[in-house]
Amino acid sequence: MLGRYLKAQLTVLLFGGLVGPIFLIVYFALGPFARPYIGWMFWVGLLITAGDVLAALWLTNAGVKSAARHDELSQRGVLVLAQITGISDTSWFVNDQQMIKVNLHFEVPGYQGFDTQETMASSPTRMQILNAHKLVALVEPGTQKYEIDWNASALIAGVVPAQFTLAEDGKTYDLRGQARPLMEIMQILRANGVPMNGSIDIRSNPAVRQQVMDVVRRAAASGQSAASAPAAAPPPPPAPPAYVPPPAPQVSTAQRLQELETLRATGTITDAEYATKRQQILSDL
């Protein structure tokens, strides 16, 4: 606790908290002859120093609570994949980085899911992770207490490589961005108390190693099957509809007789042909 307070106090002093102590040092260093003229430095320095101490105490208390919460979640929490349901901007910035609000939905096996909102800085690396719309988090079952694991989330999002070297196969498999097998592997490591920090060597733990190898091989086989599967042939284009000629226009008997009269008047047909054709038209009635 004392070490945490001293660290917080040093942080406060480094970020502008030296003014108060400097005023007090100058006040006492100049001696009693100058004090009637610089009395204000004593009170201002005392006020600023008191503010520095209170700020350090607040930071220490916040750090203790955060550490206690982390320890509690590490012991009792379960590793889940939270879905990002929305991201919205805010109008304020911290260290030249815009603050954003991220809406999250948690599903904990055996418990009712819940929604929450997290406010965070929109750093470039963090935005790469958020663009995958998934975050890995430790959640305490039955409560809404959670803690985002940004290192694990970077693996799920494919921001950092997730390589597994199997000596038996003589191969290195990269499961970058494959959420399901990576979550399964992380849950295996967590269940066996293996810390997930950087490179992990599980050769000394045969049981865990075998479980992880099975997941890696299964994921690699699934990826190869999907890659080697032939693309489905596109369906043939539909056959054009059969041509159906439009029905011939109906010609009335009067029109047929008129055409016949025209043919005889122009000398196209003889009188005998005219009589025969006229008889055929009349017989169709």
**Closest C-alpha among 73, 100, 180, 98 to residue 134:** 180
Cα–Cα distances in angstroms (integers) from residue 155 to residues 6, 24, 87, 114, 270, in the given order: 35, 51, 21, 24, 99
pLDDT at 252: 64
pLDDT at 84: 93
CA max distance for the chain: 154
Q: How confident is residue 61, by pLDDT bands cut at 50, 70 and 90?
A: confident
pLDDT (mean) for 254-259: 70
User: CA-CA-CA-CA torsion for 57, 63, 67, 73, nearest 10 degrees?
Assistant: 120
pLDDT at 87: 92
Distance CA(229)–CA(25), nearest Å, equals: 78
pTM metric for this prediction: 0.58
Q: How confident is residue 85, by pLDDT bands cut at 50, 70 and 90?
A: very high
* Residue that has been written with the tokens 């009067």 in this structure: 254
- What tens digit of pLDDT does each residue of 16-43 get? 667 778 878 888 888 788 878 888 888 8
DSSP state of 112: -
pLDDT (mean) for 232-242: 58
pLDDT at 116: 93
Residue 143 has pLDDT above 80, yes or no: yes
